[in-house]
């Protein structure tokens, strides 16, 4: 299949823009604490050696959510393929930090090369992957076509495209076919996305509905010593958690907490904003509400009416502490966040109704009885109060969360096996 004009134009543009993009990207990574050596991975310079034996499977994801979503998949594939090694690439410093804390066996992380001829060639010449799995909407043209040219088998998993992206590729059928032809298998998050992939001119016979891998991410890490310290400090105080909150949501959460304190004066709210760098702003909101608080990023021990958990990588700790969790990104049209991480900790899930990014997962959780949709801060206060006063209701929700978690394991096995077959890794 000859390269269409759109692809050739992108290659030429990338050659011109690559030096500027490289400087900007590397400068940004170093400003976020990435070493100069590791930032050069964006140019395709590896900082790890390629494994000398066994097949190498490369998985590429964009950022935090996508990267974490494939860790459980890597673990399961690694169990089935005991000689395989795995390379995961992403583009952000945050994703690199969080992935490093949870790397499965025989797995390394690198920053993805820029989508330009020299970085991609350098990357592929070093790593020589036997198979490549791309996640969600990571459709970098040169990365895809040059990987395909090496003979590596390729798949797209958790496929999810915006309406704008779908419309774009639908209008460029030749370019779309050139891009999507590289994949031996395309697994989408739902039936609607499967139809959209076909509308985008992906080969229909290779498109199938999969599952949202974010609903199968492995358990969040928990520091055992930190958990013991927090449990000792908070002792027998009742606790609830509001996590991954965004600007505009903390006010509703704090309003709910003020109402709850009238009935439960010893109640502690652990408030973990989605972006810890917003800690100063959230602190001002707490102070302006007249609530006592302590702040995690200052090294202050848990306590106060509100404990501001403005640190990275500790959500597993807070989910392990509490049986009642409100997940943010859902009171406003943001799309919601991953409820599976909460369910895995055996906690009841409360969320607003803006959960488009996890619609299928929340529908299953609701049906199972593990999640409740709330409308606003007043509704949140009422629902938390019920769970604090009705142990049977709380036990029913936490048990449902554990049942839901168990059912996901079978689906993960099916996805891993299907990928191994499509990528011909069972012959490696």
Model confidence at 428: pLDDT above 70: no
Decide if 169 is inside a domain: yes
The CATH number of residue 172's host domain is: 3.40.50.11720
Query: How many structural domains are present in the chain?
Result: 2
In this predicted model, what pLDDT tens digit does every residue of 122-149 receive, in sequence order?
Answer: 999 999 999 999 998 888 999 999 999 9
* Same structural domain, 265 and 275: yes
E-state strands within 358-401: 371-373
* Same structural domain, 212 and 277: no
The CATH number of residue 322's host domain is: 3.40.50.2000
Average pLDDT over residues 61-74: 83
Domain that holds residue 312: 224-408
Decide if 2 is inside a domain: no
CA dihedral sign of residues 149, 152, 155, 156: negative
* Same structural domain, 355 and 416: no
Give the Cα separation of 264 and 85 in Å (integer): 51
Give the Cα separation of 302 and 70 in Å (integer): 32
In this predicted model, what pLDDT tens digit does every residue of 165-188 receive, in sequence order?
Answer: 899 888 889 999 999 999 999 999
* Same structural domain, 203 and 242: no
What is the spatial order of strands in the sheet that 239-245 belongs to?
A: 293-295, 306-308, 268-273, 239-245, 324-327, 348-351, 371-373
* Same structural domain, 89 and 233: no
Q: For the residues of 38-92, what is the DSSP string, one character each? A: HHGGGGT--SSPPPSSS-EEEEE--SHHHHHHTHHHHHHHHHH-TT-EEEEEES-
Query: The whole model's pTM is what?
Result: 0.80
Give the Cα separation of 312 and 314 in Å (integer): 6
Decide if 29 is inside a domain: no
User: One of 66, 136, 138, 341 is an active-site residue; which one?
Assistant: 66
* Same structural domain, 304 and 418: no
Q: Over the chain, what is the mean pLDDT?
A: 93
* Same structural domain, 62 and 211: yes
Model confidence at 211: pLDDT above 90: no
Give the model's pLDDT for residue 218: 66
* Same structural domain, 186 and 274: no
Decide if 32 is inside a domain: no
**Higher per-residue pLDDT: 360 or 325:** 325
Decide if 24 is inside a domain: no
For residue 371 the two structure tokens come to: 């999640």
* Same structural domain, 321 and 230: yes
* Same structural domain, 259 and 377: yes
* Same structural domain, 144 and 206: yes
Give 265's DSSP letter.
T
Query: Is 66 annotated in the active site?
Result: yes
């Amino acid at each position: 299949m000859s390269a269409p004009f759109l692809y050739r134009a992108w290659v030429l543009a990338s050659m011109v823009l690559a030096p500027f993009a490289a400087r900007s990207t590397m400068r940004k990574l170093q400003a976020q604490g990435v070493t100069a050596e590791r930032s050069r991975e964006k140019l395709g310079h590896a900082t790890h050696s390629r494994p000398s034996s066994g097949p190498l499977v490369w998985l590429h994801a964009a950022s935090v959510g996508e990267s974490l979503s494939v860790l459980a998949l890597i673990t399961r594939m690694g169990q089935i393929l005991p000689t395989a090694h795995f390379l995961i690439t992403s583009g952000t410093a945050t994703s690199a930090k969080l992935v490093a804390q949870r790397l499965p066996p025989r797995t390394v992380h690198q920053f993805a090369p820029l989508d330009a001829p020299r970085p991609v060639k350098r990357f592929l010449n070093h790593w020589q992957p036997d198979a490549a799995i791309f996640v969600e909407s990571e459709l970098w043209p040169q990365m895809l076509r040059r990987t395909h040219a090496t003979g590596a088998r390729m798949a797209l998993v958790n496929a999810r495209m915006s309406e704008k992206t779908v419309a774009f590729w639908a209008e460029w059928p030749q370019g779309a076919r050139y891009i999507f032809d590289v994949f031996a298998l395309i697994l989408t998050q739902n039936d609607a996305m499967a139809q959209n992939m076909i509308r985008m001119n992906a080969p229909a016979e290779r498109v199938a509905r999969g599952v949202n891998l974010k609903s199968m991410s492995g358990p969040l890490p928990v520091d055992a010593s930190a958990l013991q310290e927090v449990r000792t400090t908070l002792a027998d105080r009742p606790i609830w958690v509001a996590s991954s909150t965004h600007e505009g949501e903390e006010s509703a959460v704090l309003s709910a907490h003020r109402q709850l304190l009238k009935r439960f004066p010893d109640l502690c709210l652990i408030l973990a904003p989605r972006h810890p760098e917003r800690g100063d702003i959230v602190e001002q909101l707490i102070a302006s509400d007249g609530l006592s608080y302590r702040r995690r990023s200052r090294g202050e021990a848990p306590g106060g009416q509100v404990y501001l958990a403005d640190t990275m990588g500790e959500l597993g700790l807070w989910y392990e502490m509490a049986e009642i969790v409100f997940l943010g990104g859902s009171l406003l049209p943001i799309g919601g966040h991953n409820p599976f991480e909460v369910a895995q900790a055996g906690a009841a899930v409360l969320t607003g109704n803006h959960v488009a990014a996890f619609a299928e997962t929340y529908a299953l959780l609701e049906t199972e009885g593990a999640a409740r949709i709330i409308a606003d801060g007043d509704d949140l206060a009422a629902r938390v109060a019920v769970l604090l006063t009705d142990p049977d209701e709380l036990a029913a929700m936490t048990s449902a969360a554990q049942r839901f978690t168990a059912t996901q394991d079978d689906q993960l096995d099916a996805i891993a096996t299907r990928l191994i077959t499509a990528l011909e890794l069972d012959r490696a």
